[in-house]
Amino acid sequence: MSTWAIEAENLVKKFPQRGNPATQGNSKESSDKKEKKSHWPRFKHKPKQLFTAVDGVSLQIECGEIFGLLGPNGAGKSTTIRMLCTLLEPTSGTARVNGFDIVKQANEVRRNLGTVLAGERSIYWKLSGRENLEYFAALYHIPPAIAKKRVEELIERMEIKDRANELVEKYSTGMRQRIAISKALLARPPILLLDEPTLGLDPQAARNLRELIVDLQKEGHTILLTTHYMEEADLLSDRIGIIDTGKIIALDTPDGLKQRIGQSEVVKLEVSGWYEKIGEQLRQLNGVENLSAHKADTDGVWEVSLHSADSRAILPGVVETVNHNGTHLLNMNIVRPSLEDVFINLTGKALRD
Amino acid sequence: MTTQPFTRSLANPGAGADLRSLLAVVRKEWLIFVRYPSWIIALFIWPIIFPLGYILTARALSGVDGSGLAQFQANTGLSDYIGYIAIGTTIWMWQNIVLWNVGFSLRNEQLRGTLESNWLSPTWRFAHLLGSSFPQLFSMFIFLTISALEYIFLFGVNFQGSLWLALLVVLTAIPSIYGLGFAFASLVITAKEANAFVFLVRGIVMIFCGITFPISLLPTWMQPLTNWLPQTYIIRAMRSATLSNAGLDAISHDLGMLLVFGLLWLTVGYVAFNWMERRARQTGAIGQY
């Protein structure tokens, strides 16, 4: 048996795509070198375009570890997880889950995995919570007597005993997510794949779910977690792989990643009246290495992050540049770098862009 | 309570485990089916509405004194034109409902978001499609029973054959009707929508299987095509068994052909499903809405 819970080597996934390649995405290629000539001139064979969703992902996850896969929407997180749980076949590369090959031993892989994809939509709303769990227990080939016991245990643990016989359509999003996670735990798989598990949950439900994830790790589960919430990845993960445009661009512990950018501090600004030219001027200041700006929830206020090897040295220039032509500096903080700052440093863009 | 992982999987793959999975799918489909009770109305209404249009047309065309019915009898050998139409339209409705229900069962799972959850389990994947057809089949038995009762008590049809022979026709019809449904289910997952194909198939059945008229009235060049459609044999065998008091010998050829078509369509349905399942793993079609 492998020493790694999950190991992937150079996983690549390409999807055929329709449309004009000149106007789409950045990771495109043609599957045919030249356009094929047709005997019918009006029906030219267009070369098939391929979109590379995952581009050579390699990773090794230790048994008992929480591994966070962090990246913006469309970075390739879900495609990677879908390959690992056998829903997708890789175009090239290999991966093993608990020692089983994801293509050649797909059924063994499924027996060793508990997966939560699509959250609350992954269960039946016209069945009760208990009926859902009984159904999925049968699909995972759990003998009836054991299934009955486990369903009751999970209902108890997830604190839905009073409402276990109600239809799921009457549950809150948080309760549905707990049923989805219970479903993944029914077969007591050694490895859990959780794809954006707190997406759409209210803060309290998200906090409860994070506590549950930590408890599951303590019980011995290996957990691969995808998220685009950097705080969540930071809080839960033993190690984090940052993924962007289908590639893992950094992989380390949360602290290791933060130390990598070589800065102990980041300057955070809140600015009103922001316009793009100010960003260009700030980038040109001596000592400013990276800048990202996005509109805050408040009307007209922008949040700006400045990366510099010596944050304090750039402050006078920053204040002078920002307070100009009707633009006002509303707030300024010097903070320790977050994973968002790591991502900005690596890619030049914010996670939410 | 703990969810401490087992080092050895509890899974006990094999026929017994897959049979339990299949039964779980059947139970789940049944529970969902009965929780949308509007289908009960359709069960009572459609057997009246759909044939009625054809019956009234036939009555209009037969003349004030019904003299035109002699021509119908000459063409079909039957005097009960209402029973003739009722049986043809009922078989058409059965195939139509199967195309919509069984044919779209996987697509409905996909739209709900539950198809991936099912696909993630180690169970035999065809069980999801097969299991969805059993509650549908049960509801169709209810539909056929209600239809027969309405034809007798509302339309005055005089069924005179053996009930057991009629049941035998229904049983031999199942493989070909549901095999076509399985093939459709795979097509729908691949094409995302297949309404046009459903309309095409039911249009072909309507014209080429003679649901309301004898096939002999079709143009000569069209008639050989009718032999390639199992619904032709179902309708003919059912009319013989229930309207002309035919025995097993008289319909044995039709039943034999139905079994051949059943084997063919079940094979096509299973092969299409496996092709779709393989293709979906390459293209990601399972998770696409």
* Listed residue (A223, A133, A224, A225) closest to A186, CA to CA: A133
Q: In the 8-state DSSP scheme, what is residue A192?
A: E
The structure tokens listed for A341 are 């700052």
Give, in degrees to the nearest 5, the angle at Cα A120 between B112 and A110.
85
Closest approach of chain B CAs to the CA of A304, in angstroms?
36
Residues of A within 8 A of B281 (CB-CB) are 86-89
pLDDT one-digit tens code per residue, A87-114: 999 999 999 999 999 999 999 999 999 9
The C-alpha atoms of residue A107 and residue B125 are separated, in whole angstroms, by 11
CB–CB contact A141 B27 (8 Å)? no
What CATH topology corresponds to A262-336?
Alpha-Beta Plaits (3.30.70)
Write out the two tokens for B235. 């309708």
Distance CA B241, CA B120 (A): 46
- pLDDT for A26 equals 45
DSSP bridge partners of A98? none
How does residue A124 score in pLDDT terms, banded at 50, 70 and 90?
very high
N- to C-terminal Cα distance for chain B?
37
Phi-psi domain of A239 (left: phi exceeds 0; alpha: psi -120 through 50; beta: other) = beta
Q: In chain A, which residue's Cα lies nearest the Cα of B285?
A: A88
Convert the pLDDT of each residue in A57-79 to its tens digit: 999 999 999 999 988 888 899 89
pLDDT band, residue A27 (cuts 50/70/90): low
| Structure ipTM | 0.88
Q: Could you tell me the sign of the dihedral formed by the alpha carbons of B165, B170, B173, B174, in that order?
A: negative
3-state SS, residue B39: helix
Q: Does A338 touch chain B (CB under 8 A)?
A: no
Query: Treating both helix axes as pointing N-terminal to C-terminal, what angle do B195-208 and B81-101 enclose, rounded to 10 degrees?
Result: 160
Report B:30-49 residues touching A (Cβ under 8 A): 31-32, 35-36
User: What rounded mean pLDDT belongs to chain A?
Assistant: 86
Do residue A157 and residue B3 have CB atoms under 8 angstroms apart? yes
Query: What tokens appear for B103 in the block?
Result: 């044919």
Alpha-carbon span B240 to B229, nearest angstrom: 18
Q: What is the pLDDT of residue A25?
A: 40
Enter the tokens of residue A265: 């501090």
Beta bridge partners of A244: A247
Contacts of residues A154-157 at CB distance under 8 Å and 24 or more positions apart, as own/partner, are: A154/A182, A154/A185, A154/A186, A154/B1, A154/B3, A155/A129, A155/A130, A155/A182, A156/B1, A157/A182, A157/B1, A157/B3
**B5 vs A126, A141, A190: nearest CB:** A190
Measure A318 CA to nearest chain B CA, in Å: 47
pLDDT in tens, B71-100: 888 888 888 999 999 999 999 999 999 999
| Predicted confidence (pLDDT) per residue in A205-262, tens digit | 888 889 999 999 999 999 999 988 888 888 999 999 999 999 999 999 998 988 877 6
How is chain A split into domains, by residue range? 4-257, 262-336
HSE-CB at B173 with a 13 A cutoff on CA atoms is 27
Q: What does each C-alpha distance from B149 to A124, B48, B81, B83, B154 come to in angstroms?
A: 36, 11, 17, 12, 8
Chain A segment 135-174 residues within 8 A of B by beta carbon are: 135-136, 138-144, 146, 153-154, 156-157, 167
Kindly list the domain boundaries of chain B, sorted by start residue.
Answer: 38-281
pLDDT of B182 over the 50 cut: yes
Residue A196 makes CB contacts below 8 A (sequence gap 6+) with A78, A119, A226, A227, A228
For residue A187, list chain B residues with Cβ-Cβ distance below 8 A: 9-11
Once rounded to an integer, what is the mean pLDDT over residues B201-229? 91
**Interface touch B1/A16, C-beta < 8 Å:** no
Among B20, B24, B112, the residue with its CB nearest the CB of A121 is: B112
Rounded (5°) CA angle B254-B256-B262: 100
Which of B22-31, B202-211, B252-261 shows the lowest per-residue confidence on average (mean pLDDT)?
A: B202-211
- Give the dihedral of Cα atoms A125, A129, A135, A140; nearest 10 deg: 110
**pLDDT per residue as tens digits for the range A276-317:** 888 888 888 888 888 888 887 667 788 888 888 787 888 888
CATH, range A4-257: 3.40.50.300
Average pLDDT, integer, range A118-144: 93
pTM of the model: 0.84
